[in-house]
Structure 1
Amino acid sequence: MTAARTERTALAETLRSVGPDAPTLCDGWTARDLTAHMVVREARLDASAGIVIPPLAGYTEHVQNSYARRDYGRLVDQFASGPPWYSPFAVLDRFANPAEFFVHHEDVRRASPGWTPRVLDRALESALMAPLKMIGKKGLRSAGARVALTTGDGATVLTAGSGPSVTVTGDLGDLVLFVFGRDQLDLAFDGDPDAVAAVKAAERGL
């Protein structure tokens, strides 16, 4: 089983356990809304473009809201079953979805009080490395500092940007969430205070 498939199954289980009205770290979205987003992304090619193209976002939101009104259990089942055969994600699942599912899984988990970090298996960590580097280079390029992302064992996984040096240290999963724009993190920042503040305030994510 691929890392994407394993994380899809784990995320579906979490969505079932928290219920449709559970909060998420995606502003204004409940677990129901997040599930609808993931289903539309894979199953509605006419609407998924609006996820990344702002002029089309209104139509995407309309379609997503219609999916969110469906029975929640069936919606989660549809997500868990994977993309339909006609979706590009049927081919790209193992490459395009590990980070998507990991980040959204943590969006659900970390929105609830008492969340604890989870230990990622080696296959998922490996699958997250490429999107971390791609999104990190893009998002940190204009952070106003030379940013090094470093794991707790001292391995530097990415260096990006220019200016005074800032080192961000934490587990690989938290580094992924950082470059994808999340803030519910357990990270250590080391460097000039003004540069650290600029890195924290930088626009990150897609």
Structure 2
Amino acid sequence: MLSNRYVALPAHHAARTTSAGSPFAAGRATFLTLYTLTGDPGTAFAGMSTLREQLIDQGRMAFPEDKKAVREGDCFAGVHAAASAPTRLVSDDVPLVGHTGIVIRQRRGGSEASLARADRLAGLDFVTGVWCLESRLREGIELDIVFVDGNAADAAIAMRAAEPADPSTEVLVDAPFDRINPMHYPWADAIRNSDLPATIG
């Protein structure tokens, strides 16, 4: 299992687009965690849920529940991957590609157009790979993860300009995030001093 945590700074929130009522709207969902698993994702997802309860029982997850909020959770399975040509990666390598940030696009409909878009996005200078997935829990919901090198907010805006959504695709959220390096949080003050929500609501 590979785990990566991501953060959206104020500039990332400003570059985010969402559908009405999205849990990613109105300055929410500042943090994102992705677990990349092999094997059957449903089995792994169930095991992780059980492990969480065990950690709580053992007192190893003591952060107050009222200060945590999971805006959305899902279990996705990969259906397509496109790598940047200079990386010389094969499709199976893409979920592990090096990156400084990501742009996620959750969508409904337009699957064929979106997979073709992923291949074209992989040709952009700042993109290292694109991974396309489908939800195992919510029929019809699909996800594109674009791995980028550089400013993720600028990348999100540039990708929308270069490859706008196909008319057959309903984009639920299009959001950039920076990858968090463990124990290195130079971005924390920018969030504290911003107008993003200071409490869970």
Whether these two folds match at TM > 0.5 is no
Give the TM-score category using the shorter length.
Answer: under 0.3
Please state which structure has a larger fraction of its residues in helix: 1
TM-score normalized by structure 2?
0.26
Q: Which has the higher contact order (CA 8 A, sep 6+)?
A: 2
Please state which structure has a larger fraction of its residues in strand: 2
